């Protein structure tokens, strides 16, 4: 048996319970991994609520972004061996002491990452990389407006955009947290709780507006963003952490020739595995070169998973919150 955070009914994070759960069986082509750390993401909360597009059958183990080490492989697996440190995504099943996955889905942990850092890497940086570069077509020298810049996918976007030569305006709702975004490369920061950001964005860009908007927030943030974009600007829709899915007034898109672009990095990889693999290898190379630095503000033991998810809901987290099994 192993410890796991189990969802037996849909609802807020408080429905989750720490339970003893049977260790999963392993078959051909698979590997058994000891999970040492697991990142907490908004989709974890939405999945438990039943409002996410992925709807596992009840009961299920919450979580999906993990880091740990291989403890056993099937006889036909040659790519990994016991003792190898790995990253993996297992949906559902991440908030547990073990998982069994197809060995070909494992990734080697960057050499300079500990397990806590590694558990904060994949979701945020794959999302940021794909949405900025593949979907958003970010070019060096462009102005990019990054919303939710103090969260996991936001800070990752700031770091990746800076590495690719962008001029960055980062927004968030807390001045102290925005200082972290500035440390990660933001040229300007705006606290959108202090009023509309449209005028400030126009002032910073000399009236031109921004070339690219990176928006995991939605709601009022999306509405304002449409009004501070440059001619032929691109707005990449990543999520709706504000809780409101905005409605598009298409006259703004028409007048400025805007592109509104949806981005689902995980789904893109499923549709084009070859391109997805190339993106992963680029990110792993950058991480191994010491260019990427996942930020973790909260580390909690597995049994405090509900608390960690609530911290995320309450906007107390900078970067990521991570659970550990030891």
- The β-bridge partners of 322 are 39, 299
The verdict on 134 and 253 lying in the same domain is: yes
* Contacts of 210 by beta carbon, 8 Å cutoff, 6+ apart: 143, 144, 145, 169, 201, 228, 229, 230, 233
pLDDT in tens, 130-179: 999 999 999 999 999 999 999 999 999 999 999 999 999 999 989 999 99
Percent of the chain with pLDDT over 90: 81
User: Which one, of 236, 287, 234, lies nearest residue 128 by Cα?
Assistant: 236
What is the model's pLDDT at position 3?
A: 98
Kindly report which listed range (2-6, 263-267, 295-299) carries the lowest average pLDDT score: 263-267
Is 275 within 8 Å of 284 (Cβ atoms)? no
pLDDT confidence bin for 265, thresholds 50/70/90: confident
> Which of 216, 250, 266 lies at the terminal end of a domain, its last residue?
266
The verdict on 146 and 257 lying in the same domain is: yes
Q: pTM value?
A: 0.92
The verdict on 164 and 237 lying in the same domain is: yes
Is residue 197, in this structure, part of any structural domain at all?
yes
What is the model's pLDDT at position 151?
A: 93
Region 278-298 average pLDDT = 95
> Which of 249, 266, 283 lies at the terminal end of a domain, its last residue?
266
Is 260 within 8 Å of 245 (Cβ atoms)? no
pLDDT confidence bin for 47, thresholds 50/70/90: very high
The verdict on 108 and 141 lying in the same domain is: no
* Contacts of 145 by beta carbon, 8 Å cutoff, 6+ apart: 169, 171, 201, 210, 212, 213, 214, 225, 228
pLDDT confidence bin for 192, thresholds 50/70/90: confident
pLDDT reading at 100 higher than 90: yes
The verdict on 173 and 61 lying in the same domain is: no
What is the model's pLDDT at position 142?
A: 98
Say which CATH number the domain at 186 has: 3.90.180.10
pLDDT reading at 111 higher than 90: yes
pLDDT reading at 268 higher than 80: no
Is residue 281, in this structure, part of any structural domain at all?
no
**Tokens 């391109």 — which residue?**
275
Distances from the Cα of 179 to the Cαs of 205, 254, 274, 316, 319, in angstroms? 20, 36, 37, 15, 12
The verdict on 115 and 134 lying in the same domain is: no
Within the chain, what is the greatest distance between any pair of CA atoms?
Answer: 63
Is residue 274, in this structure, part of any structural domain at all?
no
The verdict on 80 and 135 lying in the same domain is: no
The verdict on 79 and 131 lying in the same domain is: no
Q: Tell me the residue length of the chain.
A: 326
- Residue 93 CA neighbour count, 13 Å, CB half: 18
Task: State how many domains the chain has.
Answer: 2
Q: Note the helical H segments in 84-197.
A: 115-118, 122-129, 152-163, 175-183
The verdict on 36 and 127 lying in the same domain is: no
The verdict on 216 and 112 lying in the same domain is: no
Q: Note the helical H segments in the chain.
A: 42-49, 115-118, 122-129, 152-163, 175-183, 198-204, 219-225, 250-256, 265-271, 273-288, 305-313
- The β-bridge partners of 21 are 2
The verdict on 45 and 87 lying in the same domain is: yes
Region 263-274 average pLDDT = 79
The overall average pLDDT reported for the chain is 93
The verdict on 153 and 207 lying in the same domain is: yes
Domain boundaries, position 149: 123-266
């Amino acid at each position: 048996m192993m410890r796991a955070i189990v969802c037996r009914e849909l609802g807020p994070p408080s429905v989750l319970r720490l339970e003893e759960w049977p260790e999963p069986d392993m078959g051909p082509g698979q590997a058994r991994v000891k999970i040492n750390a697991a990142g907490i993401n908004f989709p974890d909360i939405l999945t438990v609520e039943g409002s996410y597009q992925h709807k596992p059958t009840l009961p299920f183990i919450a979580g999906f972004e993990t880091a740990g080490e291989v403890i056993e492989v099937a006889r036909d697996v040659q790519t990994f061996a016991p003792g190898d440190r790995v990253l993996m995504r297992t949906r559902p099943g991440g908030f547990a002491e073990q998982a069994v996955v197809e060995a070909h889905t494992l990734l080697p942990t960057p050499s300079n990452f500990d397990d806590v850092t590694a558990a904060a890497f994949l979701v945020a940086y794959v999302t940021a990389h794909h949405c900025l570069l593949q979907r958003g077509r970010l070019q060096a020298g462009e102005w990019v407006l990054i919303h939710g810049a103090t969260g996991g996918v936001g800070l990752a976007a700031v770091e990746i955009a800076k590495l690719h030569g962008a001029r960055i305006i980062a927004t968030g709702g807390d001045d102290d947290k925005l200082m972290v975004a500035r440390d990660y490369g933001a040229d300007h920061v705006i606290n959108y709780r202090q009023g509309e950001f449209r005028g400030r964005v126009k002032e910073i860009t000399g009236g031109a507006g921004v070339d690219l908007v990176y928006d995991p927030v939605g709601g009022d943030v999306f509405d304002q963003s449409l009004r501070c974009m440059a001619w032929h600007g691109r707005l990449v829709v990543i999520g709706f952490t504000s809780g409101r899915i905005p409605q598009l007034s298409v006259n703004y898109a028409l007048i400025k020739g805007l592109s509104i672009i949806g981005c689902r990095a995980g789904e893109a990889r499923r549709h084009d595995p070859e391109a997805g693999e190339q993106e992963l290898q680029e990110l792993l190379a950058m991480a191994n070169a010491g260019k990427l630095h996942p930020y973790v503000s909260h580390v909690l033991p597995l049994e405090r998973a509900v608390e960690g998810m609530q911290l995320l809901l309450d906007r107390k987290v900078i970067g990521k919150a991570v659970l550990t099994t030891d």
